[in-house]
Chain A
Amino acid sequence: MKSRTGIPSASRRDVLAGFATGTAVIAMPWVARAQAETIRIGFPTPLTGPFAAEAKDQVKSAELAVKLVNDRGGVAGRKVELLVRDDKLNAGEAATRTLELIEKDKVHAIVGALSSAVQLAVNEVTRARGVIYVSISQSDTINEVKDFSRFTFHEALNPHMTTAAVAKQTFKPGTKVAYLVADYAYGHEMLRGFKRAQAALGAVSVGEILHPFGAADYSTFMPRLRSMRPDILCICNFGRDQANAIKQAVDFGMNRQAQIVVPVLLNNQRLAIGAEAFEGVIGGANYYWRLEETIPSAKAFNDAFKAANGGAYPTDYGAYGFTGVSALLLAMEKAGGPDTDKVIAALEALTYDVAKGPQHYRKCDHQSVQSVLVLKSKKKADMKNEADLFEILAIEPGSEAALRSCTELGFPA
Chain B
Amino acid sequence: MMDAELIAMQLFSGIALGAILIMVALGLSIIFGMLGVVNFAHGALFMVGAYAGLWVASLTGSFWWGLLVAPLAVGIFGMAIEYLLIRPLYGRSVDDPLLLTFGLGYVLVEAVRIVFGSDGIPFQTPPQLAGVADLGIGFFPIYRLFVIAVVALLLLLLWLVLEKTKFGLIVRAGAQDPQIMRVLGVDISRVWLLVFGLGVGLTALGGVLAAPMRNVNPEMGSLVLAEAFVVTVIGGMGSLVGAIVAGLLVGVAISMTALFAPEMATIVMFALMALVLLVRPQGLFGKPGRA
Interface residues of chain A, those whose CB is within 8 Å of chain B, are 50, 52-53, 183, 209-212, 214-217, 219-224, 226-227, 240, 243-244, 247-248, 251-253, 268, 271-274, 276-277
Contact = CB atoms under 8 A, between A and B. Distances in A.
A330 B169 CA distance: 76
A214 B223 contact: yes
A60 to B, nearest CB: 13
Interface stretch (B48-56, B84-92, B120-128): B120-128
B141 A251 contact: yes
Nearest to A276: B124
A219 to B, nearest CB: 5
Contacts of B16: 219
B97 to A, nearest CB: 27
Nearest to A207: B1
A252 B133 CA distance: 9
Contact of B254 (A50, A220, A240, A276): A220
Contacts of A248: 213
Contact of A274 (B17, B124, B132, B140): B124
Given A216-B214, A220-B265, 8 more contacts: A53-B118, A53-B120, A216-B223, A217-B214, A219-B16, A227-B6, A252-B132, A273-B215
B263 A211 contact: yes
A273 B6 contact: no
A212 B265 CA distance: 7
Interface in B253-268: 254-255, 258-259, 262-267
B96 interface: no
A219 B119 contact: no
A251 B143 CA distance: 8
Interface of B: 3, 6, 9-10, 13-14, 16-17, 20, 118-122, 124-125, 131-132, 138-141, 143-144, 213-215, 217, 219-220, 223-224, 254-255, 258-259, 262-267
Contacts of A215: 265-266
Contact of B255 (A53, A210, A212, A220): A220
B267 A217 contact: no
Contacts of A251: 125, 132, 141, 143-144, 213
Given A217-B20, A219-B16, A219-B17, A240 B215 contact: yes
B273 to A, nearest CB: 16
**Interface-centre pick from B10, B120, B224, B262 (highest chain A CB count, 10 A):** B262
B151 to A, nearest CB: 15
Contact of B263 (A210, A247, A253, A272): A210
A174 B10 CA distance: 28
Contacts of B13: 219-220, 222-223
Contacts of A273: 120, 122, 215
Contact of B220 (A209, A211, A216, A220): A216
A220 B258 contact: yes
**Interface-centre pick from A220, A244, A273 (highest chain B CB count, 10 A):** A220
B14 to A, nearest CB: 7
Contact of A240 (B6, B120, B124, B140): B120
A220 B14 contact: yes
A252 B139 contact: yes
A212 B263 contact: yes
Contacts of A276: 124
Contacts of A226: 138-139
Please provide the 5 A-B residue pairs with the shortest distance between their CB atoms, ordered closest to farther: A274-B122, A272-B120, A220-B258, A212-B266, A210-B263
Contacts of A227: 3, 6
Contacts of B119: 53, 268, 271-272
A252 B262 CA distance: 18
**Interface-centre pick from B118, B139, B143, B215 (highest chain A CB count, 10 A):** B215
A217 B17 contact: yes
Given A221-B262, A226-B139, A251-B144, A272 B217 contact: yes
15 contacts: A53-B119, A209-B258, A212-B263, A214-B266, A219-B16, A222-B13, A223-B6, A240-B219, A243-B120, A243-B215, A251-B143, A251-B213, A252-B141, A253-B132, A273-B120
Contacts of B6: 223-224, 227
B215 A211 contact: no
Contact of A272 (B141, B215, B259): B215
A220 B122 contact: no
A210 B120 CA distance: 25
B128 to A, nearest CB: 15
Contacts of B259: 220, 224
Given A212-B267, A272-B120, A224 B258 contact: yes
Nearest to A180: B262
**Interface-centre pick from A209, A216, A271 (highest chain B CB count, 10 A):** A216
Contact of A219 (B3, B144, B224, B262): B144
B215 A217 contact: no
B124 to A, nearest CB: 6
A221 B265 CA distance: 10
A223 B124 CA distance: 23
**Interface-centre pick from B121, B125, B144, B263 (highest chain A CB count, 10 A):** B263
Contacts of A247: 213, 215
